[in-house]
Amino acid sequence: MQSNLFSDALEDAYRVQIEEFEGPLDLLLHLIKKNELDIYNIPIAAITRQYLEYMEILKELNLDIAGEFLVMAATLLQIKSRMLLPVESEDEEAEPEDPRAELVRRLLEYQRYRDASQQLSSRHLLGRDVFARKFASAELADLEQTEEPADVELFELIEAFRRVLARVSVETFHDVITDGISIADRIGEVLSLLHAQKTLRFDALFSERMTRDLLVVTFLSILELCKLHLIKITQGECLGSIWLALNAQDEDAEGDGAPA
């Protein structure tokens, strides 16, 4: 009962709104990449089930779900039902149209534009961010090129949180009484840990003794820190460990004597 009251209070007191929230096509591409599927031969039943599971998590996190997410869910269910129906074709020699064809076309087109956008945004603007060197440098030729860890996308972060929820047993939620910590308090705790340890593994912030409410509060705190650009979240390799670190500007502020 106390846990339910805390959940209600959390819903009334705080709502997270992501300004650049990925859309349903981003979620579908994430699921295809995670499951190593052929985009031209999508198993609609499995993808639909996972898509609906993500929507349930988004609702539980109290994130605003745009109407396009619901439209995509209805589209997936429609495609699934069409694939279950017997095919009726007036021309027996002609191959029936694949119900997934339009979705695949949209995914491929969206992926091309998204990849192009990411490539453009990663480039420095000559004369603003970087300045051209007028001569070749022998010192730079000897330096080894190091690849920085990739930034983590929202759905990869949600996938990591889904694994945390699956790992914590249902009984734990009833055995431990919630301490009623607020998101603001949890943000302060996470920042204190980062100031002390510099980097934190995502899983280290979640304990199996936490209540479900505290797990959700912790995850929402991470999202809010990202929104405020106070932390940077990276992943060294695909499906590898996710790491949290302070942004460079926050580390500089700490070095100048700013309070943690």
Q: What is the pLDDT of residue 143?
A: 52
**Residue 17: exposed, middle, or buried by beta-carbon count in 10 A (0-12, 13-18, 19+)?**
exposed
Helices (H) and strands (E) in the chain, counts: 11, 4
Digit-coded pLDDT (tens) for 31-84: 998 888 999 999 999 999 999 988 888 887 766 666 788 889 999 999 989 888
Look up residue 201 and give its DSSP letter.
E
Q: What is the pLDDT of residue 135?
A: 57
Give Dmax (Cα) for the chain. Answer: 78
Q: How far apart are CA 139 and CA 226, in angstroms?
A: 36
Q: What is the pLDDT of residue 48?
A: 93
Q: Which residues of the chain does CATH 1.10.10.580 include? A: 147-260
Digit-coded pLDDT (tens) for 207-243: 878 888 888 899 999 989 988 889 998 887 666 788 9
DSSP assignment of 9-77: HHHHH-----TT---HHHHHHHHHHHTT--TTS--HHHHHHHHHHHHHHHHHTTPPPPHHHHHHHHHHH
Q: What is the pLDDT of residue 44?
A: 93
Q: How far apart are CA 215 and CA 197, in angstroms?
A: 21
Q: What is the pLDDT of residue 49?
A: 92
**Among 153, 69, 149, 161, residue whose Cα is nearest residue 114:** 153
Q: What is the pLDDT of residue 86?
A: 75
Q: Which residue has the higher pLDDT, 168 or 9?
A: 168
**Residue 42: exposed, middle, or buried by beta-carbon count in 10 A (0-12, 13-18, 19+)?**
buried
CA 124 to chain centre: 25
Q: Which amino acid belongs to residue 37?
A: L
- Predicted TM-score (pTM) of this structure: 0.64
Overall average pLDDT of the 99-104 stretch: 91
User: Facing residues of 130 across strands?
Assistant: 126
Q: Rounded mean pLDDT of the chain?
A: 75
Q: Is the pLDDT of residue 11 over 50?
A: no
Which region among 31-35, 60-64, 107-111, 151-155 has the lowest average model confidence (pLDDT)?
60-64
CB neighbours of residue 155 within 10 Å: 20
Q: Is the pLDDT of residue 173 over 80?
A: no
Which region among 93-107, 141-155, 175-189, 231-245 has the lowest average model confidence (pLDDT)?
141-155
**Residue 95: exposed, middle, or buried by beta-carbon count in 10 A (0-12, 13-18, 19+)?**
exposed
Question: Which architecture does CATH list for 147-260?
Answer: Orthogonal Bundle (1.10)
Confidence of residue 160 (pLDDT cuts 50, 70, 90): confident
Q: What is the pLDDT of residue 5?
A: 41
Q: What is the pLDDT of residue 17?
A: 44
Check if the beta carbon of residue 236 is closer than 8 Å to that of residue 245: no
